[in-house]
């Protein structure tokens, strides 16, 4: 442990001590501010980051919170204030560590906004007598949830239409919608409580309607199951606090398993998360993400590896869902416990404040906000420890995500403001006394839940079920089924307890697919047997790979470094995936002019695809060999005119480019049915010249051959995209059972796709892809030459065939060397694509293959 780490641990212990035993008055605020400033300075210094400016901003923000609150607050309120400030500081340091100094300014802006939200909510909610309508709050929450659906405002990220872009900020309005919905529900329930206690249910059901709609929106449109779960559970707790008749309580608790079971059976992502939770290490020793998280905690031990000296990025989503794993690995169990204790005090102390409030509606609103925050916080801590499945929820104030940060600060400020305006003895009515007893029980129950969470973290850190040095515990060994090609060849099988790969040339790909596949060789698909752990015979899993197409691609590459991906456009299954020298789906690199298909789509969709002037240079971008070109979009595609697409990119703007790329699958978690390297267009160009280079597939654009094959396939399918499928079915008892093909999603207007297809056809006839013109079927293609920025040039081509009813799409990338700058898509990549297209057309033109022998 370095000196910085030792001092940091001591300062964290001091923050926890100040939370547990707060110091009153201005002196307490100054002491707390100094300790927190020191914690920030030491953390940034340990990472080698600039200290002065972040320290000044944070110190001012922390001091503002503490000095404002000390005049009004009792000990619990001061605990909450110090806990919020401490978590803000610790979250900032950890995000700078995980994402790098390029995110420091952005996180700092969100931190300032969070402090402003905290103070504004506190000031507004402490106004005596001001209580908004519960219905209005709920309607405001619903309106926020609907904002991402507004054209031009909403943004789709990771296949979820859950974000909005305003100015330089991208935010997730659902984070603010949830507290508004639950505070509104609390106020509405306070009005209907007497009727509910007397047995009249319909008014309570009416009050629950907005929350029910919101939970449906979160699950179905936002693809956010965790927040939907928290909304539902919080609503149930609020109803139980009203002491309804016993028959209603029994009915409510009795129907709870029904939506849970329905969600499990209907949502594939939930099934995968449950399976990962049950089996963090698979039978072949491959470690799932939950297993990697447990390993990282074990590496941390008591004191951690030291800030900046761990390997947190071995765990996926470490900046969000698993940020506590990074903290545990680098700060150890002691540091992790300090972070969790601050969260626990924030939740438990605020809920205790609600027991000392005289205004019934306001204390019910505070209870609602803290039930929501506690359920989310305890759940993510337990998920980190592997006690429950991961749901995708973030850790309040610690995870990356500006809108979540601001929303949590706003919740804490609102709760303290409501308490400051209503501190005192609760009314002496029978209903109030019952409600008081309910809050006391809830407070004690949540305190116990936090204790369980802390003990769970300690157990898995010091006695991990997935030891850091041994990724294959015997108790997880299983007899897995075979991994087969679509034409019945065995890629992987188990013999005498060992996993073997019979086809040497496909062994790296098979091993990679087994590591990445979300559809493991398990019992006839997810179901009740998975939940109860019932044993079964594992089926053979069938991939979409065809051995003849795979070997045709390998032969065509002839040992040259590069990649080939082939799609069967009838169901978007992957017929071949060859990558030399690496194994499995390839890494993302600049796709060069093949990306002009995305830029062209963005221009056409926005009505900006007018003819461009003939010129040799535009915004610093030059054409190949300094030729002059331009004209219509079809002409520019055929000639691969750089200046035209640089012009289109500048007209469309980065947001338009990013939105169109996302439609094709850039950044998508569902580009394929296995975990693949995501493609990206970056975070935004620094200037016009950089945007112009983005438009021709350079600058910050990175894509995999799989992604570009999907682009070509989507154009061939008249603008409809599907998830690329590596796994197509299973064999059991000699019979093949196909997995259902997900419905296609229209991402482009048919006219847009047809216009791009016209340019691709013209490229084969008299443009840059004429080497594909001699095949016995029609081909449409787009070539690309990509300057990697590392002294080498890659050659690309994407194509589909035949023209009338496209069946196959291919993407080829040839990786250049520093001493071979003469590569080009038409000269080097297109000749490789030709025999691959021929083999793929043959494979898809006859009778369907029978991978199981006779079925």
pLDDT in tens, 404-442: 889 999 999 999 888 888 877 666 666 677 778 888 888
pLDDT value, residue 525: 38
Question: Could you report the per-residue pLDDT of 173-224, keeping only the tens digit for each?
Answer: 888 889 999 888 888 888 887 777 777 777 778 888 888 888 877 777 666 6
pLDDT value, residue 761: 96
pLDDT value, residue 59: 66
Q: Is the peptide bond before 194 cis (omega within 30 degrees of 0)?
A: no
> Which is it for strands 490-495 and 745-746: parallel, antiparallel or unpaired?
unpaired
CB 773 within 8 A of CB 764: yes
pLDDT value, residue 625: 87
Alpha helices in 100-133, H assignment, sequence order: 104-125
Contacts of 647 (CB under 8 A, 6+ apart): 612, 618, 619, 692, 695
CB 705 within 8 A of CB 811: yes
Distance separating alpha carbons of residues 275 and 520, to the nearest angstrom: 9
Contacts of 712 (CB under 8 A, 6+ apart): 597, 760, 782, 798, 799, 800, 809, 810, 811
CA-nearest of 12, 19, 4 to 334 is: 12
pLDDT value, residue 452: 93
CA-nearest of 817, 572, 573, 842 to 714 is: 572
pLDDT value, residue 428: 61
CA-nearest of 707, 745, 740, 648 to 161 is: 745
* Maximal C-alpha separation, the chain: 91
Contacts of 415 (CB under 8 A, 6+ apart): 80, 125, 350, 353, 366, 369, 370
Distance separating alpha carbons of residues 278 and 282, to the nearest angstrom: 10
Distance separating alpha carbons of residues 713 and 662, to the nearest angstrom: 15
Contacts of 124 (CB under 8 A, 6+ apart): 130, 414, 417
DSSP 737-774: EEPPPPPPEE-S-HHHHHHHHHHHHHHHHHSTTGGGTT
Q: How many CA atoms lie within 13 A of 432 on its CB side?
A: 15
pLDDT value, residue 526: 36
pLDDT value, residue 72: 58
Burial 739-770 (b: 16+ CB within 10 A, else e): beeeebeebbeeebbebbbbbbbbbbeebbbe
Token duo for residue 789: 């920025």
Distance separating alpha carbons of residues 433 and 535, to the nearest angstrom: 51
What residues are paired with 275 via a beta bridge? none
With a cut of 70, which residues of the chain have pLDDT below it?
Answer: 1-2, 23-26, 49-64, 66-73, 100-106, 129-130, 156-160, 167-169, 221-224, 267-269, 281-287, 425-431, 464-480, 496-497, 515-538, 582-586, 669, 686, 818-821, 854-855
pLDDT value, residue 669: 66
pLDDT value, residue 516: 57
pLDDT value, residue 263: 72
């Amino acid at each position: 442990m370095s000196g910085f780490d030792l001092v940091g641990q001591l300062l964290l212990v001091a923050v926890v001590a100040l939370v547990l035993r707060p110091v009153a008055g201005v002196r307490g605020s100054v002491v707390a501010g100094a300790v927190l400033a020191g914690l920030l300075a030491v953390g940034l210094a340990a990472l080698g980051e600039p200290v002065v400016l972040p320290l000044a901003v944070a110190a001012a923000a922390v001091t503002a919170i503490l000095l404002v609150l000390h005049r009004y607050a009792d000990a619990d309120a001061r605990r909450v204030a110090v806990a919020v400030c401490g978590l803000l500081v610790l979250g900032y340091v950890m995000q700078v560590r995980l994402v790098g100094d390029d995110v420091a300014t952005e996180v700092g802006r969100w931190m300032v906004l969070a402090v402003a939200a905290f103070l504004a909510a506190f000031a507004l909610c402490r106004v005596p007598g001001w209580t908004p309508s519960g219905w209005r709050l709920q309607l405001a929450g619903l309106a926020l949830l609907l904002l991402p659906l507004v054209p031009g405002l909403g943004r789709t990220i990771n296949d979820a239409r859950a974000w909005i872009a305003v100015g330089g900020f991208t935010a997730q309005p659902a984070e603010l919608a949830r507290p508004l919905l639950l505070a509104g529900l609390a106020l509405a329930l306070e009005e209907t409580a007497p009727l509910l206690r007397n047995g009249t249910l319909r008014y309570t059901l009416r009050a629950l309607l907005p929350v029910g709609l919101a939970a449906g929106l979160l699950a179905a449109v936002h693809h956010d199951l965790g927040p939907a779960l928290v909304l539902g559970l919080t609503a149930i707790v609020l109803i139980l606090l009203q002491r309804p008749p016993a028959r209603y309580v029994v009915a409510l608790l009795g129907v709870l398993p029904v939506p849970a079971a329905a969600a499990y059976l209907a949502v594939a992502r939930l099934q995968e998360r449950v399976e990962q939770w049950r089996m963090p290490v698979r039978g072949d020793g491959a470690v799932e993400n939950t297993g990697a998280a447990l390993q990282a905690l074990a590496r941390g031990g008591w004191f951690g590896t030291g800030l900046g000296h761990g390997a947190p990025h071995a765990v996926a989503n470490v900046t969000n869902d698993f940020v506590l794993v990074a903290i545990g690995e680098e700060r150890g169990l002691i540091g992790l416990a300090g972070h969790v204790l601050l969260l626990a005090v924030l939740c438990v102390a605020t809920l205790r404040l609600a027991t000392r409030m005289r205004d019934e509606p306001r204390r019910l609103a505070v209870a609602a906000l803290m039930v929501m925050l506690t359920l989310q916080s305890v759940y993510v801590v337990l998920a980190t420890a592997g006690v429950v499945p991961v749901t995708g929820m973030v850790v309040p104030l610690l995870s990356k995500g500006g809108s979540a940060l601001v929303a949590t600060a706003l919740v804490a400020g609102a709760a303290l403001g409501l308490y400051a305006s209503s501190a005192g003895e609760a009314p002496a009515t029978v209903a109030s006394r019952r409600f008081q007893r309910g809050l006391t029980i809830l407070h004690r129950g949540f305190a116990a839940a936090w204790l369980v969470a802390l003990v769970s973290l300690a157990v898995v850190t010091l006695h991990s079920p997935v030891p850091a040095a041994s990724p294959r515990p015997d108790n997880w060994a299983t007899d897995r089924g075979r991994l087969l090609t679509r034409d019945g060849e065995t890629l992987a099988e188990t013999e005498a307890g060992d996993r073997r790969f019979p086809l040497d040339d496909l062994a790296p790909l098979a091993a990679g697919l087994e590591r990445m596949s979300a559809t493991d060789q398990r019992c006839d698909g997810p179901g009740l047997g998975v939940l109860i752990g019932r044993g079964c015979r594992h089926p053979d899993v069938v991939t979409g790979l065809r051995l003849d197409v795979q070997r045709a691609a390998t032969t065509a590459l002839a040992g040259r470094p590069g990649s080939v991906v082939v799609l069967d456009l009838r169901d978007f299954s992957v017929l071949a995936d060859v990558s030399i020298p690496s194994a499995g789906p390839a890494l993302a690199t600049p796709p060069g002019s093949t990306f002009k298909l995305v830029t062209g789509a963005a221009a056409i969709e926005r009505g900006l695809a007018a003819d461009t002037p003939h010129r040799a240079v535009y915004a610093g971008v030059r054409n190949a060999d300094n030729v002059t070109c331009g004209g219509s979009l079809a002409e520019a595609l055929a000639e691969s005119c750089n200046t035209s697409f640089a012009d289109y990119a500048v007209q469309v703007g980065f947001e338009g480019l990013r939105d169109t790329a996302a439609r094709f699958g850039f950044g998508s978690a569902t580009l394929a049915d296995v975990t693949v390297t995501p493609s990206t267009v970056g975070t935004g160009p620094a200037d016009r010249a950089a945007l112009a280079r983005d438009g021709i597939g350079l600058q910050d654009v990175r894509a995999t051959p799989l992604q570009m094959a999907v682009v070509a396939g989507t154009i061939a399918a008249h603008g409809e995209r599907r998830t690329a499928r590596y796994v197509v079915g299973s064999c059991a008892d000699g019979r093949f059972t196909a997995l259902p093909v997900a419905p296609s999603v229209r991402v482009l207007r048919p006219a847009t796709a047809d216009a791009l297809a016209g340019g691709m056809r013209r490229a084969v006839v008299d443009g840059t892809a004429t080497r594909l013109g001699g095949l016995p079927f029609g081909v449409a293609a787009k070539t690309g030459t990509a300057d990697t920025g590392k002294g080498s040039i890659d050659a690309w081509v994407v194509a589909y065939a035949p023209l009338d009813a496209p069946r196959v799409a291919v993407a080829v990338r040839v990786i250049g060397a520093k001493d071979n700058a003469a590569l080009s898509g038409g000269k080097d990549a297109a000749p490789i694509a030709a025999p691959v297209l021929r083999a793929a057309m043959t494979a898809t033109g006859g009778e369907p293959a029978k991978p199981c022998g006779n079925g």
